[in-house]
């Protein structure tokens, strides 16, 4: 069965991109998608937006804040009082959680939002130290640029990069990419598309507009043979997949 990827964790019931949202997703056998960006002092944290305004009680650009300043912020109260005091996690805190609770073949999808000095080595070394390279896929700035994929490959040839295919017409070029082992498919793939990708020795993340938020489309992707499903509604998707299994 395809692995469900909980986009920013279980963010329908928990504050997004927090350890509180990640732990239950991992415990249910899902992978998690996380957003990685650098602070002013070049520490890697997990946050989607370039500012802390939307999901914390603070203000300002992440790039202008030190890790110490970021760690003083409350990243849970905006969601509900139940999560008051929840902090923005660092990359390494998140990797420790994945190591402890991840049970799927693919546990982690890392979306790189920024490329700060030394970040590639930090990501690769952090994953290697925790034996997570084989269960992690990189997207974001990674899937957008062959040069970035090359740099991650140089950081570790075992780091799994994805390259994007927005349409079926882009699939041949995506498969030919020398630095990727995954296709980040942002359209509804047919069974024959999936067979072509698998025949080339690569795997698939089913995603994209009208798919991530559409459980019926994700179930169709699973039936076509996609390896993983990026979902906005992972828990309801899990129930639907179990009924169709």
Backbone angles phi, psi at 138, to 5 degrees: -105, 135
| Average confidence (pLDDT) over 205-234 | 98
Q: Active-site residue among 7, 14, 143, 233?
A: 7
The yes-or-no verdict on residue 245 having pLDDT over 70 is no
Of the residues 14, 48, 143, 233, only one is catalytic, namely 48
The pTM is what? 0.97
Would you state the structure tokens that stand for residue 69, as one six-digit string?
């300043």
Of the candidates 215, 213, 192, 216, which has an alpha carbon nearest to the alpha carbon of residue 204? 192
Position 140 scores a pLDDT of: 98
Active site residue 48: yes
Find all residues with CB under 8 Å of 75, minimum gap 6, and list them.
Answer: 15, 17, 18, 55, 56, 86, 87, 88
pLDDT category of residue 244 using cuts at 50, 70 and 90: confident
Calculate mean pLDDT across residues 10-24. 98
**Beta bridge pairs of residue 185:** 165, 206
CA distances from 14 to 9, 37, 82, 192, 232 (A): 8, 21, 9, 37, 13
CB atoms within 10 A of CB 243: 8
pLDDT digits (tens, 9 = 90+) for 114-135: 999 999 999 999 999 999 999 9
Q: What is the pLDDT of residues 74-83, one digit of tens each?
A: 999 999 999 9
Could you report the per-residue pLDDT of 89-103, keeping only the tens digit for each? 999 999 999 999 999
- Residue 243, both tokens: 């009924």
């Amino acid at each position: 069965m395809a692995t469900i990827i909980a986009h920013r964790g279980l963010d329908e019931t928990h504050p997004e991109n927090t350890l509180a949202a990640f732990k239950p997703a991992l415990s249910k056998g899902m992978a998690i998608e996380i957003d990685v960006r650098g602070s002013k002092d070049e520490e890697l944290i997990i946050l989607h937006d370039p500012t802390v305004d939307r999901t914390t009680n603070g203000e300002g650009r992440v790039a202008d804040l030190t890790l110490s300043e970021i760690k003083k912020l409350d990243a849970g109260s905006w969601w509900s009082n139940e999560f008051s005091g929840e902090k923005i996690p660092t990359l390494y805190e998140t990797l420790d959680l994945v190591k402890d609770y991840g049970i799927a073949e693919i546990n982690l999808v890392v979306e790189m939002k920024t490329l700060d000095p030394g970040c590639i080595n930090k990501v690769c070394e952090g994953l290697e130290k925790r034996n997570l390279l084989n269960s992690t896929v990189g997207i974001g700035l990674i899937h957008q640029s062959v040069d970035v994929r090359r740099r991650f490959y140089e950081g570790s040839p075992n780091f799994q990069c994805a390259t994007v295919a927005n349409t079926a017409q882009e699939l041949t070029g995506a498969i030919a990419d020398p630095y990727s082992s995954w296709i980040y498919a942002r359209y509804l793939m047919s069974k024959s598309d999936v067979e072509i990708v698998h025949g080339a020795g690569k795997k698939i993340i089913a995603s994209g507009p009208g798919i991530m938020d559409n459980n019926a489309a994700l179930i169709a992707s699973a039936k076509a043979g996609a390896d993983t499903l990026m979902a906005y509604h992972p828990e309801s998707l899990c129930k639907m997949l179990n009924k169709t299994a």
